[in-house]
Structure 1
Amino acid sequence: MGPRRLLGFAGYRRLLLSRFLSQWGDGLFQGGLLGAVVFNPERAVSPAEIAGGFAVLLLPYSIVGPFAGALLDRWDRRRVLVAANVVRGVLVLVTAGCVAAGVAGLPLLMLALVVMGISRFIGAGLSAALPHVVPVRNLVEANALAVTIGAIVSVFGAACAFGLRSVFGEDDAGSGITTAVAVVGSVLAAVAAARFTRGALGPDAVDEPSTAVAAVANGLFDGARVALRTPSVAAGFCALLAHRVSFGISLLLTVLLMRFSFEDWGPVTAGEPGLGLVLGFGAAGIFVAGVTTARVVTALGRKRAVLLALGLAASAQLCLGLPMVLPTALLAAFLIAYAGQVVKLCVDAAVQRDIGDEARGRVFALYDMLFNITQVFAVGIAATMIPANGESVPLIVIATVVYLIGMAGFELVTRRHQRRETPHPA
């Protein structure tokens, strides 16, 4: 079933609308905060502060995710989506007011942490509701469409933030107004979710431990056990773990280089507009991966597709990263985003295909938590090594080597399981 037939399901269209509005608001909120902290002439910034900002944006996906699954299997998801979007909208306005007032440091980071935590909760609710709006046989393609376009919409939201800052100004007041616009996404997402009838998005039944903490602990343990026993998933985790580490390093490098080192290249300007362009190239890579991954896997097989993607990312990291100039950075952003999305879609498919339904949600919760924490850790370690202007050849080499280690780990785990499964001659 293609996208056109999927969009024939009214519930799926409504859920996509709520998802895309929410993710657009998330992207704008994150872009507004990034601009306020990194590209604000009224504020100084260090690698450690940027790393702290990325931690705030990423950690909620790890901390809230496992609890979200447990709670969303207890509460009416339609009500959760409406209420959470409303609360997030209020907190977006509070955060925007703090930005405009010049608040910095821990108070601003904590507000952003809460906003992003609620966003993660909303995202989990939307994912959990998906089986209630499309047939089970179409879940994989419906999820792929939602995830791929949702990622692009989020990047578009961030690009909108950069554009709005050029209108409202790059100082604290302009950054605050830009960040406040993100409330539009929350409000409209709540309205879209409210159009569902009560109970339409589940849960149909509650079968969880009596407390959320027990549900989370049991879920993570069971998810780890099942993932390690499933060859395709265990190998995929090695590949995706390597990508997250390298991508975290590249993320910090790109922001600092764009802020302090890159020079304009023809009509392409460095600084905040250049970062917006990098996001655009990354979004293009994600889109192309969404369109081509199925064909690549069909032609090469999943194993070769993952290895090829990691090799492409390693080559882009080294060959296009080392010059440390704007044109090659843009091409690297496209290729690394493309390769990373290919790996992610392959790992997602492995979990959806090879993990039983009774454990699939737990494996995804573990997956979500593990890889976001890994990226935060990579950014934090890189921040202790990188010079203030971002020009670090050793970190580019390290990011490249990590991709190669990921390829070796993926191959090693795959072969080990193949040897175990090969019958010995009598």
Structure 2
Amino acid sequence: MTTLAVEKNHWGSRRFLGIPEYRRLLATRLASQWGDGLFQAGLAGAVLFNPERQADPAAIAAGFAVLLLPYSLIGPFAGALLDRWDRKKVIVVANVLRAVFVLFTALAVGAGLSGVPLYVSALVVMGIGRFVGSGLSASLPHLVPEDHLVEANALATTAGAIMAVVGAACAIGFRTVLGAGDGGSGWTTGIAAAGLLLGAFIASRFKAGALGPDEVREPHNAVKAVARGLLDGGRATLRTPSVTAGLAALLAHRAGFGVSLIITLLLMRYSLEDVGILKAGIGGLGEIAVAGGAGILLAGLLTDRLVSRFGVKRTICGALLLTAAAQAGLGLPMTLPTILAAGFFVIFAGQIVKLCVDTAVQHDVGDEVRGRVFALYDTLFNVTQVTAVTITATVVPLDGRSPGLLLTAAGLYLVGLAAYLVLSARKRQVQHPGLVREDDGGHPIR
């Protein structure tokens, strides 16, 4: 397994931005993800940092289930349907529907509703969002040359992630102006509809069929297509030790991250105090987002070099050990500066693991089943985090101060490390075309 090589004829962002259709797709993504970031931050502020509401661990767990489960339960169906419907229409209609339900959610927040009415509306917004995100990704090969897809996707994904952070920052600013209670939170959440409607308008400028699909090869029944796809993905994963082992490591990370995430939220809400320029409360969540973004950026810059120097196996093992050490060493003091530092290292190391696992799927799994493996991967990824958050919510104290749970999170990384080493030692059952093998140190055999 190797990381993707950088092409000598690297285009750079200016060449991509010179393609009108790519610019339009990128603008659609930026507007949509700005709305996403604003909506999620507005909803989080309404539920977790609203002086008119009491946010307990169960409410936090429910909120994360709303935000993450649609990615797992609706994502595979979105993939199957996007391969049979005009993707331009899907993106436009999905964004309009999301804007409508954003307004419903804002009304629910403003009216002081909680529980099922609020969460069902938010669940619809996030669920339909899978069609937008998947549609934008699936459309990209229709707009840029195939040999430059990696660069084009990297630019779009990075810009979209940054715009989501900008949207979240805007939500914090709007709450400051409009108020942190139910009324102000409702107005803040509702503003997200503007980004989604703008995304729908930009996407409507594409010609019909311009984003594909060119032909439909999916089974007539979408449910059958999804079920068969996930089963095929599971079989391909089990046949490929590098993917099975990497997935075990990544799922251990998501479980440990889920435990520490709910602890961090409760600490920010109930325990931590401002330290100099560092702020607790919802401002602290913004600081965690910045620290995490820096970790993701650094991982993107260093992972390729680390793999080239140490091999994939040692890189993943080192990342898991670093994360366990950060959880225990920086998390246990439970102060604002150490929590922020822990967030940086945990997200940095976790992103390294994810990039390595992504590369394993891209290089070691045959093209004929690769999409189905990613669908299974996406489902397990989010279900694991929701499960960890839910279980933690049943035992964590309201103030979040639980050294035992933080040590449990650190221990999960060590369990993941052991599982990775055991599973990666298995022999591959099927050799796919184009597979790049490694020696015992994880270095590619040319």
TM range (shorter): over 0.9
> Retained in 2: the 8 A contact 1:148–1:286?
no
Q: Within 1, Cα distance between the matches of 2:17 and 2:360?
A: 25
Q: Within 1, Cα distance between the matches of 2:197 and 2:402?
A: 42
1:101 and 2:111 are equivalent in the alignment: yes
The corresponding residue for 2:264 is 254
> Retained in 1: the 8 A contact 2:233–2:372?
yes
The corresponding residue for 1:266 is 276
> Retained in 1: the 8 A contact 2:239–2:428?
no
Query: Structure 1: which 5+ residue stretches go unaligned?
Result: none
> Retained in 2: the 8 A contact 1:257–1:391?
yes
**Structure 1 residues 139-288: aligned runs within 5 Å:** 139-288=149-298
Give TM-score scaled by structure 1 length: 0.95
For residues 21-73 of structure 1, what are the alpha-carbon distances to aligned partners after superposition, in whole Å with 9 as ceiling and x for unaligned? 21121111011011001111111121011101110100000010010011001
| Backbone CA RMSD of aligned residues | 1.8
* Aligned-residue offset at 1:303: 2.1
Q: 2:55 aligns with which of 45, 53, 71?
A: 45
The corresponding residue for 1:132 is 142
> Retained in 2: the 8 A contact 1:3–1:145?
no
The corresponding residue for 1:351 is 361
1:338 and 2:348 are equivalent in the alignment: yes
Output the amino acid matched with 1:178: T
SS in 1 for 2:426: helix
Q: Within 1, Cα distance between the matches of 2:429 and 2:370?
A: 26
Q: Within 2, Cα distance between the matches of 1:331 and 1:107?
A: 37
Q: 1:72 aligns with which of 82, 87, 90?
A: 82
SS in 2 for 1:218: helix
* Aligned-residue offset at 1:2: 5.0
Question: CA 1:152–1:67 in 2, change beyond 3 Å: closer, same or farther?
Answer: same
Q: Within 1, Cα distance between the matches of 2:429 and 2:128?
A: 45
The corresponding residue for 1:413 is 423
Q: Within 2, Cα distance between the matches of 1:159 and 1:317?
A: 26
Question: CA 1:408–1:7 in 2, change beyond 3 Å: closer, same or farther?
Answer: farther
Q: Within 2, Cα distance between the matches of 1:76 and 1:294?
A: 36
> Retained in 1: the 8 A contact 2:259–2:392?
yes
The corresponding residue for 1:11 is 21
Q: Within 2, Cα distance between the matches of 1:117 and 1:190?
A: 17
> Retained in 2: the 8 A contact 1:313–1:336?
yes
Q: Within 1, Cα distance between the matches of 2:17 and 2:302?
A: 20
Give TM-score scaled by structure 2 length: 0.91
Query: Structure 2: which 5+ residue stretches go unaligned?
Result: 1-9, 432-436, 438-446
SS in 2 for 1:176: helix
Output the amino acid matched with 1:238: A
1:298 and 2:308 are equivalent in the alignment: yes
Q: Within 2, Cα distance between the matches of 1:231 and 1:352?
A: 14
Q: Within 2, Cα distance between the matches of 1:9 and 1:76?
A: 21
The corresponding residue for 2:440 is none
* Aligned-residue offset at 1:253: 0.7
The corresponding residue for 1:373 is 383
Output the amino acid matched with 1:138: H
Output the amino acid matched with 2:130: R
> Retained in 1: the 8 A contact 2:240–2:429?
no
Q: 1:389 aligns with which of 392, 399, 404?
A: 399
* Aligned-residue offset at 1:105: 1.0
Question: CA 1:14–1:299 in 2, change beyond 3 Å: closer, same or farther?
Answer: farther
For residues 76-95 of structure 1, what are the alpha-carbon distances to aligned partners after superposition, in whole Å with 9 as ceiling and x for unaligned? 00111111111111111111
Question: CA 1:74–1:298 in 2, change beyond 3 Å: closer, same or farther?
Answer: same
Question: CA 1:112–1:193 in 2, change beyond 3 Å: closer, same or farther?
Answer: same
Q: Within 2, Cα distance between the matches of 1:15 and 1:338?
A: 29
Q: Within 2, Cα distance between the matches of 1:266 and 1:350?
A: 43
> Retained in 1: the 8 A contact 2:240–2:430?
no
- Give the count of matched residue pairs: 422
* Aligned-residue offset at 1:418: 7.2
SS in 2 for 1:181: helix
* Aligned-residue offset at 1:310: 1.5
Q: Within 1, Cα distance between the matches of 2:100 and 2:219?
A: 32
Identity %: 60
